[in-house]
Structure 1
Amino acid sequence: MPSPFPGFDPYLENPDFWPEVHNRLIVALADSLVPQVRPKYEVAIEKRIYEINPFNGDNSLLVGVPDLAVKRQSSNINQSPAQIAVAVASSPVQPITVTVPIPEKIKQNYLEVRDRGTGLVVTVGEILSPVNKRSGEGRDSYLQKRQRILGSLTNLVEIDLIRSFPAMPIIENDIQSDYRVLISRYSQRPQAELYAFNLPDSLPTFSLPLRSQDVEPTVNLQQIFTEIYDKAGLDYRIDYTSEIVPPLSEQDRVWVKQLLEKEPD
């Protein structure tokens, strides 16, 4: 059963679903590109690791990783609580148990399209996550990489399906949209193509840039999303009676309510 939404399903922005959806989108995008770019190019899934330290005032690692500090145990402790002797000091003030924040590594996949002859990266494909957009170390790290790409001969495709947090910077910063896809061809910079769309809209179809002499492969983002929604069985995993996280605007909340009321039980 397909998603009840005409475009992206906002229930999947919930931290309970987003990491899986992000990974599935990356793999599905790579699978759709390989037959269109071979044999000249190869499509590789690369992994980036963020280490976020909440001591520095950044709690980005908590997005989608609930109760992480409580669940983690040190790997070099082999004794059970019953085997550990604790000396009880004589004091009128007794200690209480607290939880301290621990730096956490967040793994995130992205795409590289490489020339098989030279090994050079021709295009980088990014699907943003909250760690990229939320103010702090994660966003700073991503923006540094983004600037390196924009200053190079590498094309950039940046897909943003996260409504929360400020969008990635562009000069025309008054453009407002729920979601966006940025296509930055190195040969056309500083100009770039921006697909800005909202919750009621279908996901766009666009051409993924390669070298100027090459035929560009087509990315049908709506089709890719529809296929992973079906393969992941999300229709029976999502509770469409629950509140959407992050919350919607009042206008979108009314629209979603009317849309879901039309759906058959």
Structure 2
Amino acid sequence: MPSPFPVMDPYLEGYLWSDVHNALASKIRAFLAPQLRPKYAARLEVYVVEDISPASEIGILYPDVEVLQIKQSRNVTPAIHTSNIATTPPLLTLPVIQPVIVRIPIVEIRDTANNVLISCIEILSPVNKREPGLAHYRKKRQRLYNANVHLIEIDLLRRGNRPFNHPRLPDVPYLITLTQARSGVIDLWPVTLQDTLPTITVPLREGDPDAVLELQAGLNAIYDEAGYDLSIDYTQPPPPPALSDADIEWMYKHLQNMI
């Protein structure tokens, strides 16, 4: 079943995001591979980061982490105190929030002659958009730029911070960017909730024609293949942050035939 939205589905930004991220990376590789042969190949790579501050994602990306336990009486050996002063027992016990291991898939385009990295396609994860992961990701961006690698960044998450700042950066929920090697500029495709995801170029080496990536077609394909409609409760609000009144009105117009 297709998504009720002809554009980005904000409900995918919650606990399904890890699956969406993996599926979209695989679909992007599948779309690009026939265009790249025989001089280039698209490869899936995975890097691992430790989310040491997952508290902001509890109940959104990590729904099973949220466990609250009311302190109840239990048979335990009482602690030995040196005074006769009575202590107040705790009323609530909370679990210690442990770091979460996050696996982030990316698409790398390499030349088949020497396996040199030419272009990198990053689909941003929540851990890339908040500290301390944001600082680490910004360093990675700079390393790729210094290595003359083209970088495409696909940001389909409304929460978090952008990996770069600029006074003219548009205030939109989604953003696709292309930083071409040695260009000194970043091409931007701002995307509102009502906008179709863009079809963009994927640059290769100078003199070779660019590949073409249809992002909306890729997102539509994985939604249908994965059956995300079976896991999403569209009667509930989408994951935070909250939408504007205009976006909420637009969203529920598209949901009328489903709910």
State how far apart, in whole Å, the 2-side matches of 1:166 and 1:21 are. Answer: 20
For the 8 Å contact 1:61–1:131, the answer to whether it is kept is no
Kept after mapping to 2: 8 A contact 1:52/1:59:
no
- 8 Å Cα contact 1:52-1:60 kept in structure 2: no
Which residues of structure 2 form unaligned runs of 5+?
Answer: 68-75
Q: After superposition, where does 1:1-265 map in structure 2 within 5 Å?
A: 1-14=1-14, 16-54=15-53, 59=55, 62=58, 64-68=61-65, 88-91=78-81, 93=87, 98-134=94-130, 136-187=131-182, 189-246=183-240, 247-261=242-256, 263=257
Quote the Cα distance in structure 2 between the aligned partners of 1:183 and 1:218: 13
Aligned alpha-carbon RMSD (Å): 2.4
What amino acid is aligned across from residue 174 of structure 2 in structure 1?
A: Y
Distance of 1:32 and 1:60 partners within structure 2: 34
Give every structure 1 segment of 4 or more consecutive aligned residues whose post-TM-superposition deviation is greater than 3 Å. Answer: 58-63, 66-70, 86-98, 170-174
1:77: which partner in 2?
none
Residue pair 2:106, 2:121 contacting (<8 A) in 1 also: yes
Amino acid at match of 1:181: I
Change beyond 3 A, Cα 1:61–1:248: closer
The TM-score, its normalising length taken from structure 2, stands at 0.85
CA distance in 2, matches of 1:25, 1:182: 17
CA drift at 1:231: 0.3
Instruction: Tell me by how many angstroms 1:87 deviates.
Output: 5.2
For each residue in 1:185-222, what CA deviation from the matched residue of structure 2 results, as whole angstroms up to 9, or x when unmatched? 114x2122111111111111011111111121110111
Report the 3-state secondary structure (helix = DSSP H, G, I; strand = E; otherwise coil) of the residue aligned with 1:46.
strand
Deviations 1:85-110 (Å, cap 9, x if unpaired)? x7554455587655223233221111
- On the 8 A contact 1:4/1:260 being kept in 2, the answer is yes
- Residues 202 and 149 of structure 1: CA distance in aligned 2, closer, same or farther (over 3 Å): same
Q: Distance in 1 between matches of 2:39 and 2:64?
A: 46
Aligned amino acid, residue 250 of structure 1: D
- Point out where structure 1 has 5 or more consecutive residues left out of the alignment: 71-85
The 8 Å contact of residues 128 and 159 in structure 1, kept in 2 or not, is answered as yes
Contact 1:52 1:61 in 2 (8 A): no
Answer whether contact 1:163 1:178 (CA < 8 A) is retained.
yes
**TM-score, length of structure 1 as denominator length:** 0.83
1:23 maps to a residue whose letter is: N
Aligned length: 245
* 1:172, distance to aligned residue in structure 2 (A): 4.4
Percent of residue pairs bearing the same amino acid type:
36
Letter aligned with residue 184 of structure 2: P
